[in-house]
């Protein structure tokens, strides 16, 4: 005779397991007679008592809720909860869940999700690059970068009056992308420094200004009769600066202009120095103003 294959019930799929009654059938019958109930009720009470003991070890608070009779299906379902799911079920009960069956459905869903993630991790190719690159306008950058996922933003937006609106977009992006206490370092021009500071300060907290010296690159600004040989690098933070934030030396010197690929290009060595001053291993760093990366070399970010 061929036996039909075992089809797991919905409860079994969610992890609910039948645990056998450990007392003998004769004992159950004897106790049932004394108590005036059926042997099945005695078995259930025994299994419930055992399961309650396990629950009590995991969470006395959850066991109390069950004992008060607030979890309606505890008598019929608590003993079906496998040991590895008991902590989860206990947590659900203390958080207000009042059905063991529902708690186990959530646990089953979590297990399925976990298995799926493990499978995906096996089949997906491992990242080979230490960076990810998205080509988009700064106004869309939040769609590519998860909220509160970045430790540090280092960027060099365009400096002209017509580009001032980008600083507002940058600050809004920083509020979205930075973790609490995350740092936003912004190189800018001197002429619109006041406007840039005001814009960034609407969303972030000002910490300091670093001086970025450009000795080999003296710009003569005729309308103001100024020969410029430095740039401000503004240091802002989202929320409060962490007590263990890195010490930062606040003067950087750019060795020589490097305009081999782009008229706005920074000297790679100096910009790398700037990034390094704010970073340590494992940090996520982002530069959201590098739209031209595709056809020109980007910064050290
Ligand atoms: C001063 S340059 C930065 C140069 C960079 N630090 C380097 O060394 O190559 C400013 C950058 O902002 C980019 N940019 C301008 N408007 C943008 C926007 N709306 N969204 C994203 N990037 C933008 C420009 O394409 C340019 O790459």
Domain boundaries, the chain: 23-106, 131-300
Instruction: Please calculate the CA angle 300-298-266 and round it to the nearest 5 degrees.
Output: 70
158 lines ligand 1 (CB under 6 A): yes
138 lines ligand 1 (CB under 6 A): yes
pLDDT of 215: 83
pLDDT of 262: 60
266 lines ligand 1 (CB under 6 A): yes
Reduced to 3 states (helix: H, G, I; strand: E, B; else coil), residue 54 is helix
- Residue pair 231/215 in contact (Cβ under 8 Å)? The answer is no
187 lines ligand 1 (CB under 6 A): no
pTM above threshold 0.85: no
Give distance in angstroms: CA of 225 to centre of ligand 1: 27
pLDDT of 45: 82
pLDDT of 100: 96
Give distance in angstroms: CA of 191 to centre of ligand 1: 18
Give distance in angstroms: CA of 163 to centre of ligand 1: 10
Give distance in angstroms: CA of 178 to centre of ligand 1: 20
Query: Which token pair is 122?
Result: 């096996």
Distance CA 192, CA 213 (A): 18
Residue 80, phi then psi, degrees to nearest 5: -90, -5
289 lines ligand 1 (CB under 6 A): yes
Fold of 131-300: Rossmann fold (3.40.50)
Distance CA 147, CA 165 (A): 22
pLDDT of 79: 93
151 lines ligand 1 (CB under 6 A): no
One digit per residue, the tens of pLDDT, for the chain of length 301 reads 444 555 656 655 555 554 444 556 666 566 666 767 777 777 788 889 899 999 999 999 999 999 999 998 998 999 999 999 999 999 999 999 999 999 999 999 999 888 877 877 776 656 566 778 888 899 999 999 999 999 999 999 999 999 999 999 999 999 999 999 999 999 999 999 999 999 999 999 999 999 999 887 788 999 999 999 999 999 999 999 999 999 999 999 988 666 655 666 678 888 889 999 999 888 999 999 975 644 333 444 4
Q: Kindly tell me the burial class for residue 285, based on how many C-beta atoms sit within 10 Å of its own C-beta (0-12, 13-18, 19 or more).
A: middle
Give distance in angstroms: CA of 216 to centre of ligand 1: 22
- Of ligand 1's listed atoms, the one at least distance from the Cα of 261 is 9
Give distance in angstroms: CA of 219 to centre of ligand 1: 20
pLDDT of 227: 94
pLDDT of 141: 92
- Of ligand 1's listed atoms, the one at least distance from the Cα of 301 is 6
89 lines ligand 1 (CB under 6 A): no
Distance CA 176, CA 213 (A): 31
């Amino acid at each position: 005779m061929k036996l039909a294959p075992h089809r797991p019930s919905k409860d079994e799929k969610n992890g609910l397991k039948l645990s056998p009654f450990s007392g003998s059938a004769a004992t159950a019958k004897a106790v049932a007679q004394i108590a005036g109930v059926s042997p099945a009720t005695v078995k259930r009470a025994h299994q419930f008592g055992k399961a309650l003991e396990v629950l009590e070890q995991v969470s006395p608070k959850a066991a109390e809720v069950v004992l008060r009779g607030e979890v309606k299906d505890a008598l019929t379902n608590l003993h079906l909860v496998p040991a590895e799911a008991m902590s989860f079920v206990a947590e659900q009960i203390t958080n207000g869940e009042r059905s063991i069956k529902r708690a186990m459905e959530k646990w089953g869903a979590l297990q399925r999700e976990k298995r799926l993630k493990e499978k995906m991790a096996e089949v997906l190719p491992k990242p080979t690059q230490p960076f990810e690159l998205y080509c988009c306008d700064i106004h869309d950058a939040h769609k590519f970068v998860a909220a509160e996922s970045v430790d540090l933003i280092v960027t060099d937006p365009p400096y002209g009056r017509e580009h001032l609106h980008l600083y507002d977009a940058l600050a809004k992006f920083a509020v979205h992308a930075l973790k609490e206490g995350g740092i936003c370092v912004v190189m800018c021009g001197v002429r619109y420094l006041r406007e840039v500071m005001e814009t960034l300060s609407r969303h972030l907290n000002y910490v300091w200004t670093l001086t970025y010296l450009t000795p080999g690159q003296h710009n003569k600004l005729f309308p103001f009769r100024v020969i410029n040989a430095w740039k401000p690098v503004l240091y802002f933070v989202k929320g409060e600066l962490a007590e263990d934030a890195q010490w930062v030396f606040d003067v950087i010197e750019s060795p020589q202009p490097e305009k081999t690929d782009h008229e706005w290009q920074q000297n790679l060595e100096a910009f790398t120095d700037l990034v390094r001053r704010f970073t340590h291993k494992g940090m996520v760093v982002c530069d959201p103003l590098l739209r031209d990366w595709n056809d020109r070399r980007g910064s050290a970010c």
